Amino acid sequence: MSTQHWIGVDLGGTKILAGIFDDDFRLLARAKQLTDAESGAEAVFRQIQAAVQDLFRQTNVDPSSVRGMGLGIPGQVDPRIGKVRYAPNLDWKDLELSKVIPPDWKWPVVFENDVRMGTYGEFRHGAASGTRNALGIFVGTGVGGGIIVNGELYSGFNFNAGEIGHIVLHWRRGSTLESIAGRRYQMKRAKKLLDDAPKRVRREWKGIDLKQVKSSQLAEMYQDDDPVAVTLVDDAAKALGAAVGSMVNFLNPEVIVIGGGVATALGDSFLERIWEIAQRYILPGASDGVRCVPAALKDDSGIYGAAAYAKAQGNGKK
């Protein structure tokens, strides 16, 4: 049995995912908890604690063999001062993490934004492994991203880098990528589109709670040629294509990894579409040898990334 273990936690607004890895980064066990954000940060950390204990129970790993833990947080994190500046889905603001960490965690804990952790997971153990420069784009309720530069996670001056959802794609109206391709905004737009849609279409959407629509549901309706779903998904592909093309020109990564619920549910044809649209904008030669690929670790990008980041930080690398 391995004598060193690493824990990765992916803290989301609705669920907590935790994983424990041996030193060869085999995933030994996963644990899941629903996030009770309403009860406050301490309650959330008790839930993370429960997930971690579940990992130990499943594997019989001795807690003293844990060398580090990474924690991906859905918001703006400042690792220098150990603070979450703002995490809207958890309703956290200026939270000092040292105050909420359970006292029996004897291992070092490192924090980063959840999407940057997911990108790092794909870079170290997923679709971008073996490269030195990568861009991760995760399309879900919102749109987030992460940047790998020269083999390290790049956080930027204010620990904000990678926020590709907030690049402007319409300079007059100010529309951002997220406001076109993120599910929260897509559903706002669905409401408007349905007002003008024929009865047949409105009937299909009847009974669907627009605030709770799942990616798989949207993908299914798209495949069934529902005109509202087709408009939303086609526009998302166009906007993502423009963003990917822009970034091949500007950041010029070796690989672009696209993940998140919507992208995963829509599958390879959605990715091919995005890449095809991106080509319209890419400068001659700029995409030579560049690949646009789906995230390989699916829901586990975050836990892989968090654990791998904890290990890299322990070794003085990023």
The three-state (H, E, C) secondary structure of 88-156, written as one string = CCCCEEEEEHHHCCCCCCCCCEEEEEHHHHHHHHHHHHCCCCCCCCEEEEEECCCEEEEEEECCEEECC
Other C-beta atoms lying within 10 Å of the C-beta of residue 228:
23
Cα torsion 278, 283, 285, 286 to 10°: value is -70
CB of 216 to its own copies, least distance (A): 26
CB 7 within 8 A of CB 55: yes
Cα torsion 160, 148, 315, 19 to 10°: value is 80
Using DSSP, state whether 5 is helix, strand or coil. Answer: strand
**Binding segment for its own copies among 42-50, 171-179, 207-215, 293-301 (CB under 8 A)?**
171-179
**Binding segment for its own copies among 104-112, 167-175, 202-210, 225-233 (CB under 8 A)?**
167-175
Using DSSP, state whether 69 is helix, strand or coil. Answer: strand
**Binding segment for its own copies among 37-45, 57-65, 112-120, 150-158 (CB under 8 A)?**
150-158
**What is the x/- site pattern for its own copies, positions 94-133, by CB under 8 A?**
---------------------------------------x
Question: Which one of residues 198, 284, 315, 316 is an interface residue with its own copies (CB under 8 A)?
Answer: 284
CB 105 within 8 A of CB 51: no
Question: Which one of residues 103, 198, 207, 289 is an interface residue with its own copies (CB under 8 A)?
Answer: 289
Q: In whole angstroms, give the CA distance from residue 151 to residue 130.
A: 9
Instruction: Give the footprint of its own copies on residues 230-249 (CB under 8 A).
Output: 238-239, 242-243, 245-249
**Binding segment for its own copies among 9-17, 108-116, 147-155, 222-230 (CB under 8 A)?**
147-155
CB of 81 to its own copies, least distance (A): 12
Q: Does 16 bind its own copies (CB under 8 A)?
A: no
Contact residues for its own copies, defined by CB under 8 A: 76, 85-86, 133, 145, 147, 149-150, 152, 154-164, 166-172, 174-176, 180, 238-239, 242-243, 245-254, 280-281, 283-290
